[in-house]
Structure 1
Amino acid sequence: MAFRSLSLRSLRHLSTAAGNATNAAGPLLWSHAAEESDASSSTVQVLSWGRGSSGQLGGGKEEIRFYPSPVATLRLPTDFRLATVPGRLPSPTSDSAADCEVEVGVSCGLFHSALLVDGKFWIWGKGDGGRLGFGDENSAFVPTLNPNLDGVQSIALGGIHSTALTRSGEVYTWGYGGFGALGHSVYHRELLPRLVKASWKEKIAHLATSGAHTAAITSSGELFTWGRDQGDGRLGLGSGGGPGEAGSFSIPSRVNALPVPVAAVTCGGFFTMALTSDGQIWNWGANSNGELGRGNAVSDWRPQPITSLKDHRIIQIASGGYHSLALTDTGKVLSWGHGGQGRLGYPSVQNQKVPLVIEALAHEHIVHIACGGSSSAAITDEGKLYMWGNARDCQLGVPGLPEVQALPVEVKFLREDEELGSHHVISVSVGASHAMCLVLRQSSTV
Structure 2
Amino acid sequence: MKSFNDFEVQLLHEISSFRRDGIVNLKELLEKIFFSKEKGKALIVQLREQYAIYFLTNKIYNNPVNQKKAIVEFSQLLALLEFLNSNGIISIFRKQHFVKNPMFVLSNDFGDIKIESKKIILNDNGDYTDKPEEIKNAKDEIIYKGIQFNDSHFVIKNVMGNVVISDKILDIINDINPKKEKKPFYKKRIFEVVCGLLLLFISFVWLHTDLNKSNKKIQNSIQKIHQKINQTPVLITNKKTKTHHVKRKFGIDISKWNGNILEDKLPDSIYFVISKATEGLTYIDPKFHINWIESKNKKFKRGAYHYYVIQDNPKKQAIHFWKQIQDINRKDFPPVVDIETSNKNANLKNIESELFIFLNTIESLSGRTPMIYCSYFFANRYLTDKRFAKYPLWVADYISTKSPIIPKVWKKTGWTIWQKSPTYKINTKATDLDIYLEK
* TM-score computed with the length of structure 2 as normaliser: 0.26
Greater Rg, structure 1 or structure 2? Answer: 2
Q: Normalized per residue, which structure has more helix?
A: 2
* TM-score computed with the length of structure 1 as normaliser: 0.25
Q: Normalized per residue, which structure has more strand?
A: 1
